[in-house]
Structures are given as C-alpha cells and as structure tokens.
C-alpha cells in the first residue's frame, strides 16, 4: 500500500503526471481557479502555492526541487537520485538516539571510506591484504555509527500519523517529494519538511548506495527495455547531460561519497530553487504564518548557475542495434526544442494525433490495419522537458513481425504528417481533448499539487498550465506540417532496436 517506488525514466514521470503535458480550461475557469489559489513567497526565495479544496478533510503536499540528473557531471551521475533517497534518512533530531556521538561516528565512516577508496583506486588495483583490512575497518565504522540510528524514523512518524503516498521521484529535470496527511496535521508536515531540507543527516549513506545499486540492477540491467533505453539516450545526445541515466552509471555509484552528496545538496537545495504546492482542506490565511515560521529557517542561497552545455545541432543519423535474448522493441527519437519553446503546443498536437487512443494514426496503421505491432506510441519530453529533448516513437512488434516493418510503417505516418494537412476532425479532437484533460487533471489533490509545482518551476508561473491549452487552441494544420517538416529529417534522428539472436 505504501510501497516506495521511485521514478527514473522521465517518461514515467510524464505518464504519472499525464495531464500536465495536456491542456486547459477556458479563461473564466482560470479566473475561478485563481480565486482559490494563494501564491506566497518567503524572503529566502521559497515559493508556496496553496489551493483550497475542502472536499474532504485531507491535504496533499508536493515539494518540487529544480534539480535533476541534468545537473550531474561524469563521475557523479546518479547523485541527484541518491540524495533523494538520503532525504528520508532523518535529521540531527530525527532518526538518532544521540546526535553528538553519531556525528563523531559518521566522521569515522567517511575517513574509513576514503582510505578504502584510495587503496581500491590505486595504480595497480591496491594490495589485497590492505584492501581486506580497510574493508573490515569500513564495515566496523559503519556498525559503530549504526548503533545510534533509529531506523526510518522520518518515514515512521508520517506513517504513524496517518500519512499516505509518502514517496519521492527523481527525473532528468527535477526531484520531487510528496505525501498526504489528514487536514489537521499540516504543522507536522511543515516541521518535518523544513527540517528535512534544513538539517539533513546523510546517515547510512553507503548502505543506501547499495540499495540504489540494486535499484539500477532491477530497472536498468535486468530489463531489456532498461538496457536499450540507456544505450539509446547516450547515443541520441552528443553533449547534453540528458544523455546520462538518472539512476547513474554503476562505476559512479560505486565511487561517489557522502560528502559528494552533501556538496550537491548545498548547491541545489536552496529555497529559491524550490516550489511547494499544498492542496486540500486548508485555508491559506491559517497556514501561512506556520509556513513562515518553519520554512524561513532555510537559509537563502544563490540560485544555482544555469546549465552551460547546449546540445549542438544533430548532423548525423544514428542507429543502435542491441542484440538481446528477448523480443524486438523499436525506438525512434527526433530532437525537438524545450517545453518553453513557442512550438511546444504544436509538438503536443503532433504526438496527440499520432498516438493518443484508438483513433490515433499509429494505432490505426500499425495495430489495427497492418497488425504488425501490439503497441505503438509517440511522446514528447524524453528524457526531460526543461532543455531541448526528444519526441520519441516507441513500438512493440507483434510476433512474427520485425523492427524493420514497424519502422517502415512509422515512417509512412511521419511522411503523411509532413506532406498532408491533418483532418478537421483530428484538429478538433486535439483541442477538445486538451480542455477535457485539463479538467480531469483537477480532480485530485495530488494531481493539482504536482501540476502547479511543475509549471511554476518550469515556466515561472503556474498559470501556464491553463495557457498551454490556449496555445493548443491556436495550433493550425500548417503549423503541424511546418514543424513536422523541420523535425522529421534523417539527420535529426536516432533509432534504437533490440535485435533477437536470429537476426544478429
């Protein structure tokens, strides 16, 4: 029920926050929505969005930190996600029986780890006897520090007080933390969430790093699609950190230290880099003093510098054929601009026409008529939205059908989109759906909270959630052909497929 799952592939983030990439209501709806929304910025730069929705005595909290795997460099890949795990480990007052003693023990763990790491990475690979001794010392130091731990106290408090949906997720663009509580316990959340980012103690770091390695083995290494996607993004991007896996490379997971994670936290977890949405049975005027009280404790800090690397134009078509003992899978990605680009709505419309539902072109061609695929889809924002990213085609060939067949059928649909205007019905469908999906996205506290925080971070204004629908309303058939012609060219493309043994 309260299983803690984490988000690694940003397309999962997108699926989870489905309505977010979809559109909005009409102007008067924005106006009525706005009446129940309070935006409040603390002096330290932290932004709160409070939406009063008294349908049931519960409240959902969603903290969106504007840092993801895209802020990592080689050597520390996986660190944004690693910190997210550590943000459940408690503080100097939560999760410990004796902080002063534990602090000393943790310093010894750091020391022992570095001694071991130095020996392990020494030229020639380190002396086996020394390594064994250092391993033993590292293990002992950890055991000593563990003696002061109250295991999982942070999660236990929330659990015990009736919290549900406690979880977090890391993507290429963002790290998010969320749960819901009965409406009378807002102060508990304010206390815990502010403590968590004011005063985190990264205890059990190296055990948790083992857990993350298991997570990598589980999601990336032991799944054919996981293996393929890692190869695919690394090839599609020449320079931009979107090429790096959110979970991190095994070598980096085996190397980075507790101090690395703490340094990463200090740079990125500054209040001005965070947005928190609160949605449910609360009154903004009642809780703002509480928010001031607890969250003003977070010290202001400089907003992290912008990412320097911009993906250079793609000059070559790229192809990956990954032999695998499983079944064929086909991916085809095209570079596209960031979600903040004026053509974003056109890209959304393209994906919608190609891929949403049984009337979509990919379904009708590949699944219904040619019967060569069990599933075929296209979506934007892979692996993130904030920077130029990919429009991704994904197909699962039916038994007896090959990647080449689905490729040919996808290309056929792409050519049609470039050369013929879409129909009136299709255009109408895209626009109606955009409005309806926005409405549907407003049906739950958690859905509203996640979208508000996401849009506020990405665009600097949560109202863009509604304006996106207005932009889709303005998309024309010509826009679609123009964008399709500019995007769907061979040099802008990366293809990846699983080839089965017989085809190798």
Partner 1 sequence: MYTSRRFVAILLAVALAAPAVAQVKSYQEITYPPLPAFNIPKPQVVTLKNGLTVYMLQDRELPLVQISARIRTGSNYEPADKTGLARLMAAVQRTGGTARMSGDAIDDFLAVRAASIETGMGGDSAFANMDCLKGDVPEVLRVFADILRTPAFADDKLQIAKVQARTAVARRNDNVNAITGRELQRLVYGEDSPLARNEEYATIAAITRDDLLAFHRKYYHPNNVYLGVVGDFEPRAMLRLLEQVFGDWPRGPRFAEPPAAYRKAPRPGVFYIEKTDVTQANIAMGHLGIEMSNPDFFAVQVLNEVLGGSFASRMFSNIRSKKGLAYNVYGAVGAGYTTPGILRAGMQTKLDKMGEAVEALREELKGIIANPPTPEELARAKESILNSFVFNYDSSAKILRQQILYAYYGLPANFLETYRNNIEKVTAADVARVAKAYVRPDQLSLLVVGDASKFDRPLSTFGPVTTLDITIPPPPDTTAKVEKTEQAADAGRALLARAARALGGPDAAKVRAISSSATMTISMGGQSMSMKSSDLIVFPNRVRQVVSSPMGEQVVVIDGSEGFMVMGGQVRPLPASMVEQQQSELKRDLRVLVWSHADPEMEAVAGGEDLVDGHPCTILQVTYRKAVSQLCVAANGTVLRQSYQGTNPLTGAPGQVELRMSDYRELDGRQVPFRQVMLVDGQEVMTSTLESWQVNPPVDEALFAKPAA
Site for partner 1 in 417-446 (CB under 8 A): 425, 428-429, 432-433, 435-437, 439-440, 442-445
Which residues in the 195-224 window bind partner 1 by CB under 8 A? Answer: 198-199, 204, 206-215, 217-218, 221-224
Give 122 or 283: the residue with its C-beta nearer to partner 1: 283
Place of tokens 């599933």: 375
Task: Say whether residue 1 binds partner 1 (CB under 8 A).
Answer: yes
Beta-bridge partners for 278: 50, 61
Which residues in the 112-151 window bind partner 1 by CB under 8 A? Answer: 146, 151
- Judged by CB under 8 A, the stretch of 123-131, 235-243, 324-332, 338-346 that binds partner 1 is 324-332
Neighbours of 141 (CB within 10 A): 22
Which residues in the 442-481 window bind partner 1 by CB under 8 A? Answer: 442-445
Q: Which one of 97, 121, 251, 327 is in contact with partner 1 (CB under 8 A)?
A: 327
Q: Which one of 187, 260, 473, 479 is in contact with partner 1 (CB under 8 A)?
A: 187
Give every CB contact of residue 200 below 8 A, 6+ residues apart in sequence.
86, 87, 89, 90, 91, 265
Q: What is the sign of the dihedral through the CA atoms of 407, 413, 417 and 418? A: positive
Give 216 or 335: the residue with its C-beta nearer to partner 1: 216
Q: Please work out, in degrees rounded to the nearest 5, the angle formed at the alpha carbon of residue 469 by the alpha carbons of 467 and 475.
A: 110
Distance of closest approach, residue 226 Cβ to partner 1, in angstroms: 10
- Judged by CB under 8 A, the stretch of 67-75, 337-345, 355-363, 475-483 that binds partner 1 is 355-363
HSE-up of residue 114 (Cα within 13 Å, Cβ side): 8
Give 265 or 382: the residue with its C-beta nearer to partner 1: 265
Distance of closest approach, residue 139 Cβ to partner 1, in angstroms: 12
Q: What is the sign of the dihedral through the CA atoms of 486, 491, 492 and 494? A: positive
Which residues in the 77-116 window bind partner 1 by CB under 8 A? Answer: 88, 93-94
Rounded distance between C-alpha atoms, residue 444 and residue 448, angstroms: 6
Task: Say whether residue 163 binds partner 1 (CB under 8 A).
Answer: yes
- Judged by CB under 8 A, the stretch of 126-134, 303-311, 396-404, 458-466 that binds partner 1 is 396-404
- Judged by CB under 8 A, the stretch of 64-72, 125-133, 368-376, 489-497 that binds partner 1 is 368-376
Rounded distance between C-alpha atoms, residue 149 and residue 207, angstroms: 13
Which residues in the 52-71 window bind partner 1 by CB under 8 A? Answer: 54-58
Place of tokens 């968590």: 196
Distance of closest approach, residue 73 Cβ to partner 1, in angstroms: 22
Give 324 or 343: the residue with its C-beta nearer to partner 1: 324
Query: Which residue, among 270, 120, 300, has the nearest Cα to 197 in the 3D structure?
Result: 270
Q: Please work out, in degrees rounded to the nearest 5, the angle formed at the alpha carbon of residue 97 by the alpha carbons of 109 and 146.
A: 30
Q: Six-digit token pair at 212? A: 């993350």
Task: Say whether residue 366 binds partner 1 (CB under 8 A).
Answer: yes
Four-point Cα dihedral 354, 493, 224, 79, nearest 10: -110
Give 60 or 172: the residue with its C-beta nearer to partner 1: 60
Helix (DSSP H) and strand (DSSP E) numbers for the chain: 19, 11
Q: Which one of 374, 461, 476, 485 is in contact with partner 1 (CB under 8 A)?
A: 374
Q: Which one of 324, 332, 385, 468 is in contact with partner 1 (CB under 8 A)?
A: 324
Q: Which one of 35, 160, 313, 342 is in contact with partner 1 (CB under 8 A)?
A: 160
DSSP-derived 3-state class of residue 183: helix
What is the phi-psi region of residue 248: left when phi exceeds 0, alpha when psi lies from -120 to 50, beta otherwise? Answer: left
Distance of closest approach, residue 88 Cβ to partner 1, in angstroms: 7
Give 344 or 356: the residue with its C-beta nearer to partner 1: 356
Place of tokens 């499983």: 326
Give 173 or 204: the residue with its C-beta nearer to partner 1: 204
- Judged by CB under 8 A, the stretch of 232-240, 342-350, 381-389, 391-399 that binds partner 1 is 391-399
DSSP per-residue letters across 265-300? HHHH--GGGEEEEEEES--HHHHHHHHHHHHTTSPP
Segment holding 235, helix H or strand E = helix 224-236
Give 433 or 493: the residue with its C-beta nearer to partner 1: 433
SS3 per-residue string spanning 302-314? CCCCCCCCCCCCC
Task: Say whether residue 4 binds partner 1 (CB under 8 A).
Answer: yes
């Amino acid at each position: 029920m309260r299983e803690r799952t984490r988000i690694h592939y940003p397309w999962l983030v997108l699926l989870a926050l489905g309505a977010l990439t979809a559109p909005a209501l009409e102007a008067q709806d924005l106006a009525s929505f706005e009446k129940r929304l309070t935006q409040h910025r603390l002096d330290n730069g932290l932004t709160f969005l409070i939406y009063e929705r008294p349908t049931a005595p519960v409240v959902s909290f969603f903290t969106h930190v504007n840092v993801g795997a895209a802020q990592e460099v080689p050597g520390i890949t996986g660190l944004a996600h690693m910190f997210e795990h550590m943000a459940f480990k408690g503080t100097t007052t939560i999760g410990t029986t004796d902080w002063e003693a534990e602090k000393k023990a943790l310093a010894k763990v750091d020391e022992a780890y570095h001694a071991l790491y130095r020996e392990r990475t020494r030229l020639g690979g380190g002396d086996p006897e020394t390594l064994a001794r250092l391993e033993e010392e590292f293990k002992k130091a950890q055991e000593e520090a563990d003696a002061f731990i109250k295991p999982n106290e942070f999660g236990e408090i929330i659990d015990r007080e009736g919290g549900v949906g406690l979880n977090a997720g890391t993507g290429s663009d963002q790290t998010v933390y969320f749960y819901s509580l009965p409406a009378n316990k807002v102060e508990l959340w304010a206390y815990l969430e502010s403590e968590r980012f004011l005063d985190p103690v990264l205890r059990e770091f190296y055990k948790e790093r083992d857990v993350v390695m298991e997570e990598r083995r589980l999601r990336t290494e032991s799944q054919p699609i996981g293996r393929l996607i890692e190869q695919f993004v690394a090839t599609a991007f020449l320079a931009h950190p979107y090429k790096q896996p959110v979970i991190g490379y095994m070598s980096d997971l085996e190397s980075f230290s507790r101090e690395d994670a703490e340094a990463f936290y200090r740079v990125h977890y500054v209040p001005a880099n965070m947005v928190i949405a609160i949605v449910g049975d609360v009154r903004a005027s009642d809780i703002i003093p509480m928010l001031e009280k607890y969250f003003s404790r977070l010290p202001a800090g400089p907003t992290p510098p912008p990412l320097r690397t911009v993906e250079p134009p793609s000059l070559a078509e790229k192809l990956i054929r990954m032999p695998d003992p499983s079944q064929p899978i086909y991916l085809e990605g095209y570079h596209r601009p960031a979600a903040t680009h004026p053509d974003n709505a056109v890209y959304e419309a393209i994906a919608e026409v190609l891929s949403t539902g049984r009337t979509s072109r990919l379904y009708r061609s590949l699944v219904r008529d040619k019967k060569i695929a069990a599933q075929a889809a296209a979506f934007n924002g892979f692996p993130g939205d904030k920077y130029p990213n990919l429009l991704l085609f994904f197909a699962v060939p039916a038994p007896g059908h090959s990647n080449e067949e689905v490729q040919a059928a996808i290309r056929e649909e792409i050519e049609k989109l470039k050369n013929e205007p879409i129909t009136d019905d299709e255009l109408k469908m895209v626009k109606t759906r955009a409005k309806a999906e926005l409405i549907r996205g407003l049906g739950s506290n958690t859905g509203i909270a996640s979208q508000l925080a996401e849009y506020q971070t990405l665009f600097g204004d949560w109202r863009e959630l509604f304006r996106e629908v207005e932009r889709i309303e303005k998309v024309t058939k010509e826009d679609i052909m123009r964008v399709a012609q500019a995007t769907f060219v061979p040099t802008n493309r990366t293809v990846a497929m699983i080839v089965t043994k017989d085809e190798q």
